[in-house]
Structure formats: C-alpha cells, structure tokens
A = this chain, B = another copy of it.
Amino acid sequence: MKCAANIDARMVEETAINLDPIQVAGRLTPEAMKAVIAWGDGYSVCDNCRKPFRLDYIQNPPLKEFHVELAEWLGMAQARTVPGARRAFQQVAGTYVEKGDPVLIGALAHYTSYLSVEICRGIVREIPKTADNHITPDDAANRIEDVIREFGTAPKLLYIDHVDYQFGNMHDVRGVAKVAHQYDVPVLYNGVYTVGVMPVNGKDLGVDFVVGSGHKSMAAPAPSGVLAATEERAEEVFRTTQMTGDLTGRKFGIKEVGIIGCSLMGAPIVGMLASFPKVKARVEQFDSEMANSKIIVDALKSIEGTKILSEYPRKHTLTRVDTSGSFDVVAQTHKKRGFFLSSALGKKGITGIIPGATKVWKFNTYGMTKKQAEYVAETYLGIAEENGLRVA
C-alpha cells in the first residue's frame, strides 16, 4: 500500500503564482470545487437518469440544459462533453477517416492530433508553418492540392489550432476553413487554448467542429472536453447506434457510437457545469488578461539577450521565450547551474516553469491579477539584475 501513503495534498495554487503553460486556465472555480465535493462519487449524476438514458438528457443536475447552452455559446448546433479534447479528435477522426485516408494537420499541432489519426490508421500530411510560425490559408490550399495529387482524393479532415501550444500564436482559422471548404474538407477547430479563455464562435469562423478542453481551459477537472458540431456534421459525428444483436435482436436506442453512449458521469461534468457561468463571463475579459500578459512579456523583453519567440504583440497569454542570451548565460557559471532561475522564482513564490529550463521555455499568465503580473515582472527583472544582466 505504498502508493496511497505518498499522496500529499497539492498546494501549488494556494502557495504560489503559477505560470504553468497548461494548468492556469484549468484551475477550478470555487463553485466547481464545491460541486466536485458534492458530486465526487462514481456515477453520482446518474441518480436521476431516466429514459432515454443518456447523460446529455439528464435534467438534474441540469446536464441537458448545459449541453444546449454550450452549443449556443460556441455558435454551433450541437455539443457533447468528452473525456478530454483528444477524445474529441478521436471521435471526429473515427467518423471520417478509414485506413489509408489522408488528413491534413497544421505543423504546430499537439501530438494528440497526430495520434488521433494514427489510431484510425489514417495518414497525416502537414501544413507547413511559415518562417514566423503561422499556419496560413495559402499553405493549406497548396497542401490540399498535394494530397489530391498523392492520394487521388482530398483530405478527409483538416485540423487547425486557433492558438497553438508551441508559440501561443493565433492562426487564420477563418481563412483556412474557407479554403478547406472549397474542397469540401471538414474543418476541426482545435480550441483547447481558446474555448473558455476568449470568445469563440464556430459559426463566425466557418468551421465544422469546435473542440475545447475542460481541464485545460474551462476550469474543470480532468479528463474533460467539449465537441461541438454544425447541424450537418452533428448527424455524422453524433450518429446513434445501428447495432443489433444477431441472436437476441437487442438494440441500444439513442446511444451515440462516437461517445460510446455516455461520457463524463461524475465530477468532471459537474465541475464543468458549475464553472460555466464564470467561464462564460471571463472570456469577455480577455483584454485585461492580455494587458497582464503584456506587463510580463515586456519585462522579459527588456532583459538584454532575451527574445520573445511568439508573435508580438501577443494575442494570447501563452508565450514562448528564448533566454539563451540572458538567463542561460548566467546558468553557465552559476553554482546552481540552470536551476538558479527556478530556484530564485520559487523563493519569490512563482512556480510552473520546468526546473532547470533557461534556454527556451513557455509561460502562461492567464488568470492572474494586475498586481500579480507586476510582481512577476518585477521578480524577473530583479533576478536579471542580481545576476548582472542588463535591463533596458
């Protein structure tokens, strides 16, 4: 029984300012925490499951209403919850991609995009990134043509990240979707860094699917996510089972194939639901998040030898920075080597950056107050000056 004896209480969010690239928008709201405590037991939300016996029809807690609101909020016809965005990718790929079928994916995409095609035995072709790390409609068009030449068919699907995980850059989803639709290629919008963080309207963007992450960006417990679709695509991706038992004649009603009936039967969906009002409200405040981000980005930028690798001005709170010419120079002679930076930050109550990283690293300022942003900026500048780096 060694395992369990070692589970310490996690205190990260209580004791520090967290800059972790993937964690900051997934912290629970107090409402979500309360809901998770009350609904933590296994199949808790199934108390009042009645015909037609499907999670998204449960009225108490109001999961049915939640699913309807979720779709509206995303500008899509229908929405479902899934155990993580990756499972939404899998569900969409599983609907359209068979063995040997080509799928186009932006070259900055998360590995789960690629694996969701591999799991269907499909073949990935990449849309290249430009020199300034963007995925463009022109490149998408060229690659669709390449795929048609190679496979004799257009891609079965195209994945485009609105904001990518590598640079936090924003890509021209609308332009890419327009091009894709000229070839009748369905477009999967990867909104794991946007849905729940900034306003997203799938209809305005002209995409077929919107995928979001509950635990990354909707203040919900893992594993949770959303998959929303247009009416036309909903019929395909949310198709109900056609299975019949060959001996028994058993049928399974309106259970959906892609989600295998029900998805999030407890804590994650109640957490997502409980956070939803605040999440809806916070996306409207994205400007102030960017203002906070700017305070820290500009501070880092002012440290001689530091480069912001993400697009600038920033359009998202996730930023990639290169401190090879600043903090890493310090690391080479510091007695703590590369750990001097995380150690110095830790002493000031700042966490979430991989310990030892002094060359290229990412941080995410989402969810902090202006005062915290100023504190983080001052702390970085202070560490720079203490270690003999020049600040402009």
Contact = CB atoms under 8 A, between A and B. Distances in A.
A114 to B, nearest CB: 5
A61 B246 contact: no
Interface in A22-80: 22-23, 25-28, 31-44, 46-47, 50, 60-62, 65-66, 69
Given A2-B62, A2-B65, A119-B260, 4 more contacts: A7-B39, A7-B62, A222-B265, A222-B266
Contact of A3 (B94, B107, B267, B277): B277
20 contacts: A6-B60, A6-B62, A7-B39, A9-B34, A10-B41, A12-B44, A20-B43, A36-B40, A43-B215, A43-B216, A84-B260, A107-B245, A111-B241, A111-B261, A114-B252, A115-B255, A118-B243, A215-B265, A215-B266, A223-B223
A87 B13 contact: no
A147 to B, nearest CB: 10
A384 interface: no
Contact of A44 (B23, B214, B258): B23
A36 B39 contact: no
A124 interface: yes
Nearest to A13: B41
A264 interface: yes
Contacts of A43: 20, 22-23, 26, 215-216, 222
Contacts of A40: 28, 32-33, 36, 221, 267, 271
Contacts of A243: 114-115, 117-118, 124
Contacts of A33: 37, 40
B47 A10 contact: yes
A257 B6 CA distance: 30
B221 A260 contact: no
Nearest to A86: B260
Interface string A241-269: 11101111010100101101101111110
Interface hub of A34, A246, A270 (most chain B Cβ within 10 A): A246
B7 A42 contact: no
A340 interface: no
A189 interface: no
A128 interface: yes
A51 to B, nearest CB: 10
B126 A245 contact: yes
B47 A22 contact: no
A187 interface: no
Nearest to A351: B47
A38 B9 contact: yes
Interface in A265-285: 265-268, 270-271, 273-277, 280
